[in-house]
Amino acid sequence: MQTNKLVLASSSTYRKALLEKLHLNFICAHPDINETAAANEPPEQLALRLAKEKALALAAEYPEHLIIAADQVAMLGQSQLTKPGNKQNAIKQLQQSSGAEVKFYTSVCILNSSTSEIKSEIDLCSVYFKALNDRQIKNYIALEQPYDCAGSFKSEGLGIALFERIQGNDPNALIGLPLIKLISLLEAFDIKILE
């Protein structure tokens, strides 16, 4: 039985839906942080740092909670793919990703705000895109409008049709919250999912 108070440090509807899969009681709160990468910061370090900063940003407001935070950095070669925000940027991202591998570094951390103990993990997932033509890209974007998704697709939806294959340990990580790693971290804080 869950006794800890949980906070998901996110305004993402995708992360909220993923955490709901675990049948935990939690609330959502929006952390206000600067998500700019430091100079020459590797993607895995950026993802881990941002997740920790999100959790720490809510510690004063939720002083006796376990705060769960996550972040995702998508990389096409040496270029970071952010949320496109609009149709033109989404088309451009998918044109660049056509026939290529995009790596997604998805971090998760838990902060015990009453003890300041923090634990974190990172998940790496590689997405291999099919060679896409402009008609396929435009049709996909018209159907799903993935403007709030890094990489311009929703793997849990029709975005799966854009891929040759996915290589990773947890399909949830690609959506924004690596549940397998999160469950392990929760167990380290004495929250057992099936007990």
User: pLDDT per residue over 135-186, tens digit each?
Assistant: 999 999 999 999 999 999 999 999 999 999 999 999 999 999 999 999 999 9
Domains of the chain: 6-188 (3.90.950.10)
Buried b (16+ CB within 10 A) or exposed e, 157-173: eebeebbeeeebebebb
Contact 107, 50 (CB under 8 A): yes
Average pLDDT value for residue range 82-105: 97
Q: How confident is the model at residue 3 (pLDDT cuts 50, 70, 90)?
A: low
pLDDT (average), residues 94-104: 98
pTM: 0.94
- Write out the catalytic residue numbers: 71
pLDDT one-digit tens code per residue, 55-68:
999 999 999 999 99
